[in-house]
Structure 1
Amino acid sequence: MQLLNTLNYRTMKSEHKLKKHLVLVILVTGVLLLIPLIAMQFTTEVVWTLSDFLIAGLLLSCTGAAFVFALHKMENNTYRLGVGIALISTLFLVWANLAVGIVGNESEDINVLYYIIPAIGLVGAFLSRFQSHGLSYTLSAMAVIPLIIAIVALMGYLQEPPHNTATQILGINMFFTVMFSLAAISFRNVARDENEKELIAE
């Protein structure tokens, strides 16, 4: 009976902490959205529409909530690091692509391909049930896509004016490849440690 009460207490405490962190995510999102709102009152260079605020709020809150759930799901700091790198990189990729476009400008058709990356992340995360082994493969796949897009862009002569230079195209895509690769390595290290613990237990 005492053990059951202890488990119930820990569960309630964990749920309370989760709700507290989710509220914090909402508050931080609200504060961040105040920055462009205030800037619009003093300069005409910052022009956000209602849809801009809604999309930004959705991206920030979903990213924050996903990281909070990861914090509560796993106590392994390497796993948390992998989640953090993956989420921040994906947020930056989607935000930049929506705002100005990664190749050329936001109207370039090739930029639609970048949305394959978060799609792979979502599908891979759910199929692997957020297990480190599956996530390492998911992030590895996400790391390859920017390189493929860069090659397609260069083959399509999108490095010529008025588009980005070849160095810019390769640089930004290599950045995302490196970031997603670091996340994949983090999850791979977690999976390796878990396998070693299982072998020792046997």
Structure 2
Amino acid sequence: MATSHLVMAGILLLVLGLLYLLVASWGRSGAYKLAVGVAVAASLLLVWGNLAVGFIGSEDNPANLLYAGVLAVGFIGAILAKLQPQGMAKAMFATALAQFAVPFVAMAIWRPELNLGVLWVIVLNTIFAGLWVVAGWLFRRAGLAGAGLGR
């Protein structure tokens, strides 16, 4: 079983590394490349953490499938934005909102007992939402710099 997790981690690192190289090559500014790096790192940590231990309960808890929706928001947003900085910023802000909403959607569906574990899930999701906001801010900055409005 441990070997399959190792293989999955290797594939995940390879795919996300290639994704970073592909998307970062579209942008010329350092802010754009950093934004891509933050978004890819957030994606990696989100998938890896969920596969390893799960953020909501154990890794087998069906509530953890909600995180696929977070990644879908970012991926579809990136496609709609055509990887342009201002559109990517909006996609990352939408992804942050989706990330922040996950524990509340899970609580509405599964109605867990409110305890310290639930609070930690909310804190963890807030931290991840912050990563998506940072990526969005960096994309926004890259867009403003490309338009001659940023530093």
Instruction: Give me the TM-score of the superposition, normalised by structure 2.
Output: 0.87
Q: Which has the larger radius of gyration?
A: 1
Quick one: which amino acid aligns to residue 179 of structure 1? L
Runs of 4+ in 1 over 4 A off after TM superposition: none
The answer on 1:168 being equivalent to 2:120 is: yes
1:159, 1:169 within 8 Å by CA — same for their partners in 2?
no
Pair 1:136-2:85 in alignment:
no
Whole-Å separation in 2 of the counterparts to 1:129 and 1:56: 28
Does structure 2 conserve the Cα–Cα contact (< 8 Å) formed by 1:104 and 1:158?
A: no
Q: d(CA) in 1 for partners of 2:139 and 2:31? A: 7
Greater relative CO, 1 or 2 (CA 8 Å, sep 6+): 2
Alignment of 1:13-162 (within 5 A): 48-49=2-3, 51-155=4-108, 156-157=111-112, 159-160=114-115
Q: Displacement, 1:152?
A: 2.8
Going from structure 1 to structure 2, the CA distance change for 1:102 and 1:158 (only over 3 Å counts) comes to: farther
Structure 1, unmatched stretches of 5+, are 1-46, 198-202
Q: Would the aligned equivalents of 2:26 and 2:83 in 1 still touch at CA under 8 Å?
A: no
Equivalent-residue separation in structure 2 for 1:54 and 1:122 (angstroms): 24
TM-score by length of 1: 0.66
Would you say the 8 A contact 1:82–1:187 is kept in 2? yes
CA RMSD, 1 decimal: 1.9
Distance 2:91 2:113 in 1: 28
5+ residue gaps, structure 2:
none
Change (3 A) 1:159 1:99: farther
Q: 1:190 to 1:172 in 2, by over 3 A?
A: same
Query: What displacement does 1:157 show?
Result: 2.1
